[in-house]
Amino acid sequence: MKTKKLVLKELVKHLNQNISEERLAKSLKLSRTIIKKAIHELVNEGYEVSFTTNKGYCFHMPKRLSKEVIEFFLSKKTPIKHIEFKETTDSTQNDAKSFSLSSKEEVLVVSDHQSAGVGRFSRIYFSPYKKGFYMSLLLFPRQKSLEVPQYTLLAATAVVCAVENLTAKQPLIKWINDIYLNGKKICGILSEAITDIKSNQITHLIIGIGFNFSIQREEFPKELRKKATSLFAESPPFISRNELIAEIWKQFYQLIDTNFIKIYRKYSFVLGKQVSFLEKNTIHQGIAKQITDTGELEILLDDGNIKILNAGEISLQNIGVK
């Protein structure tokens, strides 16, 4: 491991705490000159490290994405063994797919920016540089009882729980894969399965999350301003993206063995409301009555019939209070 990375990992262990140059040098078995050079390089990369006489260095919570900091905040029980950080990429989903060809462990790909990110139905996902985070988790399906769409519900539940835990803000879920705050979208989720052609068995799952973190209203394209917002659109962030990323995956793995659908229902903002959806070129309307234990949306249609919607077969077109 490069000296700079060694110094960074040691500084992260003492996040927001003072550590003397002597202690750093002794712990890493490096000279003070090498320590100073490594810290100078880290500062030039955008990390915030201050120095106080008689106290030493203090590594402050970085605004930039850092896999070392994400690793620090992740629970040791979280089975993510490798984090791949890319400053920019075409799509973290594509990156995760490439890891599926060789990786024997779960991999999290995180990026500051996507040049070709897409959501469900191949919609382009707006992803401005350093204003959000875009990540994809490659995992091995360990819950045979869960279908691919249910992993989307699980991820959505993890996101809203993480946001509420760290900020006390109360995001809600638009069935099935969008997270909303104050009536506007802040996050989209996309789950994909990789299947072995010979056995026709699912070998990997990829869960992609695009999250608007600190995009200001005027920074959104005009056509999105009425539909999209960010977690910190009106005020400076008081948490880091690194903390939120780690908290999302901590929640994900804590919830995977629980009745997370119950929590998902709690955060739904479609239940009890008038919805319309498009199916086979026909618009249908009704009241969203229930989310089943397997994640389908039950709708009482205007003609009195019950329609059960599955993930992926329709797109909700409009949500409003009846």
Do the domains spanning 3-59 and 67-266 agree at the CATH topology level?
A: no
Q: Where are the beta strands (DSSP E) in 31-79?
A: 49-52, 56-59
Q: What pLDDT tens digit does each residue of the chain (322 aa) get?
A: 689 999 999 999 999 999 999 999 999 999 999 999 999 999 999 899 999 999 999 999 999 999 999 999 998 889 998 999 999 999 999 999 999 988 889 999 999 998 865 555 445 556 677 899 999 999 988 666 688 889 999 999 999 999 999 999 999 999 999 999 999 999 999 999 998 888 888 899 999 999 999 999 899 988 888 999 999 999 999 999 999 999 999 999 999 999 999 999 999 999 998 888 888 888 888 999 999 999 999 999 999 999 999 865 566 655 653 3
pTM of the model: 0.90
Rounded Cα–Cα distance for residues 145 and 300 (Å): 27
- pLDDT reported for residue 322: 36
CATH superfamily of 67-266: Bira Bifunctional Protein; Domain 2 (3.30.930.10)
CATH number of 274-320: 2.30.30.100
Give residue limits of the domains in the chain: 3-59, 67-266, 274-320
The residue behind tokens 């791949």 is: 84
3-59: which CATH topology? Arc Repressor Mutant, subunit A (1.10.10)
Rounded Cα–Cα distance for residues 130 and 215 (Å): 9
Contact in structure between 42 and 7 (CB atoms under 8 Å): yes
| Among the listed residues 130, 13, 116, the one whose alpha carbon sits nearest the alpha carbon of residue 73 | 13
Strand partners, 268: 173
